[in-house]
Amino acid sequence: MIKKEILDTLKQAGTFAILALIIPVVYLVNSLRLENNQDFIHYLDWGLTFLFPALILYMSWSIFGKEDSEDSWDYLRTLPVGRWKLFLIKTLPRIVLTIPIVCWMTFYRWGWTMYPEGNTMLWITVSLLTASSGFFLGLAERKNPAMVLLFSLPVLFLTEYVEGTGLSWETSIWFFLNVMKPNGWEYAGLFFWFSRISLLLFTLIPAALPVLALIPLYRDWNSCSKKAMSLKAAKRMAIPVMVLVAIHLI
């Protein structure tokens, strides 16, 4: 079963690799029609900036695509596979492929190169969050636009605040001005680790809360209809999503 998921993941990545061939085509066409065309690296930069996030979201959204298209949910429910083993089988190949993509976006596109070891939290959280959101969305109504939007909000929140929410930074600055500076503790390492803790408390954990709230529902996934699962998921995600909105507005 894991081999099938790996192959499906590679096929999805291959589809986007084929789409990436559009980039040199556009570059060549513009080279013929424009006198002052941009360098190819410019086209590659912007092309991958759109394709990579699209690939991550598509892999997440289509975790249970085969089961839906082949109407094989009843068969899946009869397999002697534990709940968390199924979760790992479905998400692990996507997570493994997502991490290097997020790594590229972090360093190259977002330019967050200071203290690169601290970015590990971001890579892991984004990868886990997108895969987990897609997994639980697949158990609900993944073709329902409202559910897709609801499950996308944590990922969009984390993407928007990739370097931390305003609350994260305000807390870090307060700590520097009111604790570190008065006591002569003006050490870059200390500020870095406190800022990582602030990032964890006020950005990463809030982004993960809507998905974490769905874990209890997973116990009943094989005895609950998709519509019922959607309603239960929406109720459980309501408060965590409101927390994200509140942090966004602060």
What integer pLDDT is reported at residue 57 of this predicted model? 84
Within 10 Å of residue 193's Cβ, how many Cβ atoms? 13
What integer pLDDT is reported at residue 79 of this predicted model? 81
What integer pLDDT is reported at residue 116 of this predicted model? 47
Mean pLDDT, range 13-23, rounded to an integer = 86
- pLDDT tens digits for 70-127? 888 888 888 888 888 899 999 999 888 888 877 776 666 555 444 445 566 677 788 8
On average, the pLDDT of the chain sits at 84
C-beta separation of 133 from 211 below 8 A: yes
Mean pLDDT, range 183-209, rounded to an integer = 88
C-beta separation of 178 from 184 below 8 A: no
Q: For residue 148, what are the contacts with CB-CB under 8 A and spacing of at least 6?
A: 61, 137, 142
CA distances from 191 to 101, 136, 137, 167 (A): 28, 37, 38, 15
What integer pLDDT is reported at residue 238 of this predicted model? 93
Task: Return the axis-axis angle of helices 83-104 and 40-61, rounded to nearest 10°.
Answer: 170
Judge whether residue 164 has pLDDT over 90.
no
What integer pLDDT is reported at residue 212 of this predicted model? 92
- Is pTM beyond 0.75 here? yes
pLDDT band at 237 (very low <50, low <70, confident <90, very high): very high
The whole-angstrom separation of Cα 151 and Cα 156 is: 9
The whole-angstrom separation of Cα 33 and Cα 184 is: 61
Q: For the chain, what are the domain ranges?
A: 2-249
Measured in whole angstroms, the distance separating CA 65 from the mean position of its chain's CA atoms is: 18
What integer pLDDT is reported at residue 195 of this predicted model? 86
Kindly state the percentage of the chain with pLDDT values over 70. Answer: 93
- pLDDT tens digits for 24-35? 998 898 888 888
